[in-house]
Structure 1
């Protein structure tokens, strides 16, 4: 069974990489499956979300808006799996996590260019999300590092004791799994954030349902395939898809005991409030943007390189992207050099060699950038570098935008 799963994964990834390398348009549109009780299942919904390649605007898959029955089936599967999974030894769960981390990083050997499964996931991220392949590989690497951290569960889950805290009284504390947990993940790190969530939740003895971003769920589905091969029992991880209704279901369902969320302020506040009102533990990691203050005694070369990478990397679609910089004193004289470096950045599809800036995730995301630049100009800002009207040959329909600096 493991060999069949791996062959299917490698075949899909090989075709994906060929399409990326050759700029090939997919002729048939597949559907993204649900992952229920250890199996990939076609949704019975009549509502679908078209997922576009941001570089070409071509529809590459259709993501289901899961029915309520499908979402309930995922939770029920996780609840049933929790009964036995929570009773497995910590060493058993650790061994499965060792195998899972190894599968993410290992060489497949089935691909023509001897790529790794690691790179296959990165290629899928580039196809669905748009970031450069180098950036996508970093996405997977950061998630893999959390998997490796989860392998130290034998130390992480130690309890505490305090003898003689009072006469004839000792204190013993134990770490016990909560039950069914849920993860709601964002579009900008489609591998890293799921890998922050379900490895740690499950290695502690919990089960998890995941609602990945409907804009790029492919990486999560590939990780679920690897979880099957690593030996995760059916039901320990389940995946359904959707948007607002799916999020509200997670917040309201009484079986789900805890929610982990990464995303925007608006969504995060809603999930925190609604989930907390339902008595759940909620960790809500909401939108963030960095600001920089540049002092005149800073190392010039290191600072300029860092500013360009932080401001324009991933087309600014990182939680910690640098959107505002304050130059102090003599450091203001460095601004022309930042413009010069930004002008040299290569804007193209993320899979193209030498790409520095890939496309934005959606037409709405690009329009938001355009509106922000325009609002700055109307308020009196000097537009030192205008990349709004860039046209990249071969990707005229893509959501591409050159660096903008005011």
Structure 2
């Protein structure tokens, strides 16, 4: 009998018996491994009600106690992260080392969140007017909904969850229905760490659950990471329902390679950033912009490195695993046809891969396309798979203009030994995150993550100080302790004297 993955509401497993069911696959085997509940409106109500009921107690819990719970969670996670990595590999397909890497990056945000007493303390000004003081404080905002994608089932929830909890909010997490078990594992660990029942809830589901959270009057904020069309929808719907929103969308990240760059370093970086996690990363490098005359040499070096990659079951020590589903695998593969039809050269065709895994797995090997026309959908669309495109230009200015002309503005990198060119690039490129000889410029936890243009909707980036501001609201308090000399009637506007 298949495992039945249920909700986590009010500190325990919850199954009304009325939910629809969705399949959860093992992508390396191509077979269904479990069924997951898909919440209806009534179950959304139950989850939000549990979070709303737990919120006042958690909000009023002392800073010291909140910090101790999060620290205990950090210790448990650090000791048992290999368990979580196995869960991620089983349901997502990424190799174990990559699964462990995402947990470590999520843990960095948790460790930053432990500094919240310093980040959240207010300001105080003495005697702004005679006998009058002003101070400020930051308070939590209520029930926070987190809607996370399939590609990082642990890291993306950890971008938001620890900060929301540290600030005193309660949380309803809606993980991807494609790989939901990591969220339940985190819920159990938080309970073991001492988090009160109902402060963290996991609600499984599809669009019905998402819409329920976006429209629910008990939800005060929504945090989302996913594709641009969905991010735009999340932002517009949640904002129309009076909620704070941070919605991170898609990307088409470029790597601009100047003629003076170390091509061995560039080739390593392009392969690592293009094919890690089978390209299912919003920060993956999907386009290499080669400033001639380096194109041919770079193609040769990348091709040589790709020939050594082993695609297969992530539990077998392979370099790259399968894609998340058969449908997604077929969609990504279709872009290879599109590119060829539009005039690109298919240098390495991942559809021909012989994988180290079950024949039914959702396999697509690393793919390299050269001379991709910038009018092709293979260039303009976010493919979200192991397809690396090379576009050739004749100058820095032409390359920069190409990067800036795109609809997305998530991340971009430049590879060069020219400090002047790098300095120009960091100022002139129109993206939110920039790498200089760094292919995946994901900021550390005490900076914030987020793009420009169609890559982000809303004003607050993920994690860092921005996220603490998102999950709190500021209150300014003006104080005067009265004595008889302050009496009397004066209807004029108050002045500071």
What TM-score does the superposition give when structure 2 sets the normalisation length? 0.72
In the TM superposition, 1:275-286 aligns within 5 A as: 275-286=238-249
Aligned partners of 1:101 and 1:147 also within 8 Å: yes
Query: What secondary structure is seen at the aligned counterpart in 2 of 1:80?
Result: helix
Residue 162 of structure 1, CA deviation: 3.2
Deviates more, 1:300-309 or 1:209-218: 300-309
For 2:308, the equivalent position in structure 1 comes to: 344
Query: What secondary structure is seen at the aligned counterpart in 1 of 2:288?
Result: strand
Gaps of 5+ in 1: 1-27, 107-116
Q: 1:190 aligns with which of 136, 146, 153?
A: 153
For 2:201, the equivalent position in structure 1 comes to: 238
Higher strand fraction (1 or 2): 2
For 1:114, the equivalent position in structure 2 comes to: none
Higher helix fraction (1 or 2): 1
Give per-residue Cα distances to partners, 1:361-388, cap 9 Å, x unaligned.
Answer: 0112111211111111001111111111
For 1:70, the equivalent position in structure 2 comes to: 43
Residue correspondences, number: 368
Aligned partners of 2:11 and 2:196 also within 8 Å: yes
Residue 329 of structure 1, CA deviation: 2.1
Alignment partner of 1:56 is 2:56 = no
Inter-partner Cα distance in structure 1 for 2:269 and 2:149: 25
Aligned partners of 2:310 and 2:356 also within 8 Å: no
Query: What secondary structure is seen at the aligned counterpart in 1 of 2:229?
Result: helix
In the TM superposition, 1:4-403 aligns within 5 A as: 28-106=1-79, 117-165=80-128, 169-332=132-295, 333-353=297-317, 355-392=318-355, 394-403=357-366
Give per-residue Cα distances to partners, 1:143-165, cap 9 Å, x unaligned.
Answer: 11111111111111111223455
Residue 168 of structure 1, CA deviation: 5.8
Give per-residue Cα distances to partners, 1:95-147, cap 9 Å, x unaligned.
Answer: 000000000001xxxxxxxxxx1001000000000001000000111111111
Aligned partners of 2:40 and 2:208 also within 8 Å: no
Residue 166 of structure 1, CA deviation: 5.6
Aligned partners of 1:44 and 1:67 also within 8 Å: no
State the structure with more CA Rg.
2
Gaps of 5+ in 2: 370-497
Aligned partners of 1:54 and 1:129 also within 8 Å: yes
For 1:12, the equivalent position in structure 2 comes to: none
Query: What secondary structure is seen at the aligned counterpart in 2 of 1:227?
Result: helix
Inter-partner Cα distance in structure 2 for 1:122 and 1:247: 26
What TM-score does the superposition give when structure 1 sets the normalisation length? 0.88
Inter-partner Cα distance in structure 2 for 1:309 and 1:382: 21
For 1:23, the equivalent position in structure 2 comes to: none
Query: What secondary structure is seen at the aligned counterpart in 2 of 1:175?
Result: strand
Aligned partners of 2:39 and 2:206 also within 8 Å: no
Residue 61 of structure 1, CA deviation: 0.9
Deviates more, 1:277-286 or 1:38-47: 38-47
Aligned partners of 2:143 and 2:220 also within 8 Å: yes
Q: CA RMSD in A?
A: 1.3
Residue 335 of structure 1, CA deviation: 1.1
Inter-partner Cα distance in structure 2 for 1:156 and 1:215: 35
Query: What secondary structure is seen at the aligned counterpart in 2 of 1:128?
Result: helix
Aligned partners of 1:81 and 1:236 also within 8 Å: yes
